[in-house]
């Protein structure tokens, strides 16, 4: 039986809010990409409010936040922001919340540090390490040149990162509005992504770790060329298997849904198909760039290339680690993958 998510709520337009559980409001925000939205959450927290993920640094999202907060919480303070991971559609406005509302930032330490690295690269437009990494893996010149142009075109996706952070850790329990929320960390999409689970409400705020329809990008980065992010992603599934089958999942993209366990099975099958395709094409030596068409049926343009080659490398390294492929830098200084006979 194929996986079909159960969406219990109506669709929201940008800027609309909806009370999805006691004390939890869903705020749907626009993004300037093909993935054109992000879901953010406003939680009642005693005499104030907690924001889960902040949104991308654009004026439209700031205006929507100001309007939503004025409608829902006009007299109560925004006490803190809890950010699932460092990507700018999540961390982008943490500094704005600190500056405008005095909200303190809570997130895992690895994600906070990675955010500072990413901001530094964006501010300096220094993407040389990325370009070198992609060239090592067979990227054609038009893609590396285009990647640099695409990245340079992003103007300050993070407003300003707070200089201090309140660290949250795996399995930690925190109180939000008199209810206990458990932190569940996982790798793959980012290094120490944090989801939040409330047993009392039977609600999981999953961030980007578990999405109902699209698969989270699981990519290898130049900072860890021998890494195995796909294995870390699969390992995180074990933590979610302990949650009730009927848990209400509040994801960062698409819509709130039920059907967590079936979605985990579906995601595992999705990645297995890509692993099988990569293994098949590597019967002959292949660069990661050459493997991309076997994993992605759609045309990959300059904007998508960084995501596509990163995800391809994640699958190839998984197969190297389990002994199915070898990885070697050839005489032309390009890395190729070969199936083990």
Q: Are 52 and 196 in contact (CB under 8 A)?
A: yes
How far is the C-alpha of 79 from the C-alpha of 259, rounded, in Å? 32
Q: What is the pLDDT of residues 238-270, one digit of tens each?
A: 999 999 999 999 999 999 999 999 999 999 999
In-domain check, residue 223:
yes
**Average pLDDT over the chain, rounded to an integer:** 95
Provide the number of structural domains found in the chain: 1
What DSSP assignment string belongs to 116-148?
A: HHHHHHHHHT--HHHHHHHHHTT--HHHHHHHH
Rounded Cα–Cα distance for residues 219 and 227 (Å): 10
* CATH (domain of 72): 3.60.15.10
Residue 103 has what DSSP assignment?
Answer: P
Backbone angles phi, psi at 33, to 5 degrees: -135, 180
**Lowest-pLDDT range, 119-133, 215-229, 268-282?**
119-133
Flag whether pLDDT at 276 surpasses 70: yes
- Cα 36 to chain centroid distance, Å, stands at 14
Are 93 and 161 spatial neighbours (Cβ–Cβ below 8 Å)? no
Band the pLDDT of 128: cuts 50, 70, 90: confident
Distance CA 57, CA 244 (A): 35
Note the Cα 164 to chain centre separation in Å: 22
| The pLDDT of residue 180 | 99
3-class DSSP state for residue 19? strand
User: By C-alpha distance, which of 337, 310, 270 is closest to 2?
Assistant: 270
In a domain, 274, yes or no: no
Tell the burial category of 254 from Cβ atoms under 10 Å away from its Cβ (0-12, 13-18, 19+). Answer: middle
pLDDT tens, position by position, 54-98: 999 999 999 999 999 999 988 889 999 999 999 999 999 999 999
The four Cα atoms 223, 221, 334, 326 give a dihedral, to 10 degrees, of: 100
Claim: this prediction has a pTM higher than 0.85: yes
pLDDT tens digits, 169-194: 999 999 999 999 999 999 999 999 99
> What pLDDT is recorded for position 147?
76
Residue 177 is assigned to a structural domain of this protein: yes
pLDDT of residue 231: 99
Taking 60 as the threshold, does the pLDDT of residue 1 lie above it?
Answer: no
| Chain centroid, CA 194 distance in Å | 10
**279, part of any domain:** no
The parent domain of residue 220 ranges over 17-125+155-269
Is residue 97, in this structure, part of any structural domain at all? Answer: yes
Please report whether residue 185 resides in a domain.
Answer: yes
Residue 220 has pLDDT above 80, yes or no: yes
Say if 59 falls within a structural domain.
Answer: yes
CB 184 within 8 A of CB 173: no
In a domain, 289, yes or no: no
């Amino acid at each position: 039986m194929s996986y079909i998510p159960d969406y219990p709520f109506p669709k929201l337009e940008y800027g609309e809010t909806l009370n999805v559980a006691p004390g939890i409001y869903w705020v749907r925000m626009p993004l300037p990409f093909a993935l054109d939205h992000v879901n953010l959450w406003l939680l009642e927290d005693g005499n104030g409010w907690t924001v889960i993920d902040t949104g991308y640094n654009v004026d439209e999202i700031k205006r929507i936040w100001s309007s939503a907060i004025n409608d829902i919480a006009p007299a109560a303070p925004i006490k803190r922001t809890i950010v699932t991971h460092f990507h700018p559609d999540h961390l982008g406005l943490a500094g704005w919340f600190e500056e405008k509302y005095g909200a303190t930032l809570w997130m895992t330490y690895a994600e906070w540090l990675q955010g500072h690295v990413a901001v530094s690269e964006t501010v300096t437009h220094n993407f040389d390490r990325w370009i070198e990494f992609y060239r090592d893996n067979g990227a054609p010149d038009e893609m590396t040149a285009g990647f640099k142009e695409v990245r340079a075109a992003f103007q300050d996706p993070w407003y300003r990162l707070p200089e201090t952070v309140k660290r949250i850790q795996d399995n930690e329990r925190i109180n939000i509005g008199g209810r206990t929320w458990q932190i569940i960390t996982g790798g793959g999409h980012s290094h120490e992504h944090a989801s939040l689970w409330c047993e009392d409400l039977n609600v999981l705020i999953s961030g980007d770790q578990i999405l109902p329809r699209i698969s989270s990008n699981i990519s290898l980065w130049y900072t860890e060329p021998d890494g195995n992010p796909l294995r870390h992603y699969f390992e995180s599934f074990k933590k979610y298997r302990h949650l009730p089958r009927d848990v209400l999942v509040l994801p960062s993209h698409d819509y709130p849904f039920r059907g967590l366990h079936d979605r985990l099975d579906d995601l595992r099958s999705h990645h297995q198909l890509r692993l099988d395709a990569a293994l098949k094409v590597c019967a002959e030596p292949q660069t990661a760039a050459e493997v991309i068409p076997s994993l992605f049926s759609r045309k990959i343009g300059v904007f998508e290339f960084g995501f596509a080659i990163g995800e391809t490398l994640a699958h190839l390294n998984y197969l190297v680690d389990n002994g199915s492929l070898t990885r070697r830098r050839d005489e032309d200084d390009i890395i190729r993958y070969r199936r083990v006979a």
